Amino acid sequence: MKTRGSAARRRVLILGAGGHGRVVLDILLQAGQYEVLGFLDNNRDIQSRRVDGLVVHGSISDLERLARELDLDGAIIAIGDNGARRGLARQIEQAGIELVNAVHPSATIAYNATLGRNVVVAAGVVVCANCQIGDSVILNTGCIVDHQTMIGEGSHICPGVRIAGRVKVEPGVFVGIGATIVPKVTLGCESIIGAGAVVIDDIPPMATAVGVPARPIKAASASEEVAAMLLPADV
């Protein structure tokens, strides 16, 4: 390993060079805390090319090798799919590579709010007092998370969402753009809230809920339905 001065910015790669990767790059550049060395992406069509001026060095499976070769300090996962992001984060941490956060300088985060690892906090986000934001959460552009709300691991809160106080968002939840969540409700794990929905009651795990007020339109995710189809007929 090279010896670097203590003032040197920490060197990171962004995993995922799609639209969300570009957003994460912008956040890291605006924040100025890290030196972004480029991207990794499994899409071969963009490998060795540049995205927003930075090289896509290879696929995500190259991370461990590149961590040594590039003298990397850490990485951040910029993959929108909640399940993929959570699973990959666990693999990377098991490999001993640090996952860092990207927090836009225009975000406002209460002094006593807590953030996990691999968290993205985009421009204009407000996180109020006593909130707990889990690992691998995306708080997307301009969303508001009010006091004492918990956002579970691997959830994605889309742009312009407003979440009131004391809401519990379980792991893996997707809250669509512009949705509103009233105080004290629970969004069950891996549930999906449609764009523009107003949630006034608890949402069951894996349900998809849309509308004003939000009502479930699907009881379980496609993956669960597929799993059920694979069971023997007499089970």
Ligand X SMILES: CC(C)(COP(=O)(O)OP(=O)(O)OC[C@H]1O[C@@H](n2cnc3c(N)ncnc32)[C@H](O)[C@@H]1OP(=O)(O)O)[C@@H](O)C(=O)NCCC(=O)NCCS
Q: Is 177 in the site for ligand X (CB under 6 A)?
A: yes
Beta carbon of residue 152, minimum distance to ligand X (angstroms, whole number) = 18
Cα torsion 76, 80, 84, 89 to 10°: value is: 20
Beta carbon of residue 20, minimum distance to ligand X (angstroms, whole number) = 8
Q: Quick one: 77 or 92, whose CB is closer to ligand X?
A: 77
Give the tokens for residue 210: 């849309």
Q: Please work out the total of residues on this chain that contact ligand X, with binding judged by CB under 6 A.
A: 13
Give the tokens for residue 149: 């709300």
Q: Determine how β-strand 50-51 pairs with β-strand 54-55.
A: antiparallel
Q: Is 199 in the site for ligand X (CB under 6 A)?
A: no
Give the interface segment with ligand X, choosing from 48-56, 63-71, 96-104, 210-218 (CB under 6 A): 210-218
Q: Do 148 and 160 form a contact (C-beta atoms < 8 A)?
A: no
Q: Quick one: 19 or 105, whose CB is closer to ligand X?
A: 19
Q: Is 196 in the site for ligand X (CB under 6 A)?
A: yes
Beta carbon of residue 80, minimum distance to ligand X (angstroms, whole number) = 7
Going by the DSSP 8-state scheme, the letter that residue 3 receives in this structure is -
> CA 91, 97, 99 angle in degrees (round to 5)?
85
Query: Exactly one of 12, 192, 199, 206 binds ligand X (CB under 6 A); which one?
Result: 192
Q: Is 124 in the site for ligand X (CB under 6 A)?
A: no
Give the interface segment with ligand X, choosing from 45-53, 101-109, 165-173, 189-197 (CB under 6 A): 189-197
Give the interface segment with ligand X, choosing from 7-15, 91-99, 110-118, 187-195 (CB under 6 A): 187-195
Find tokens 């449609």 and name the residue.
194
Q: Is 83 in the site for ligand X (CB under 6 A)?
A: no
Q: Do 118 and 101 form a contact (C-beta atoms < 8 A)?
A: yes
Q: Quick one: 131 or 158, whose CB is closer to ligand X?
A: 158
Q: Quick one: 147 or 215, whose CB is closer to ligand X?
A: 215
Beta carbon of residue 67, minimum distance to ligand X (angstroms, whole number) = 29
Give the tokens for residue 127: 């996180």
Cα dist. 229→175, 189, 218 in Å? 27, 21, 16
Q: Is 126 in the site for ligand X (CB under 6 A)?
A: no
Which positions ≥6 away from 149 have C-beta within 8 Å? 128, 131, 132, 163, 164, 165, 166, 167, 168, 169
Positions touching ligand X (CB under 6 A) are 140, 158-159, 176-177, 192, 194-196, 208, 210-211, 217
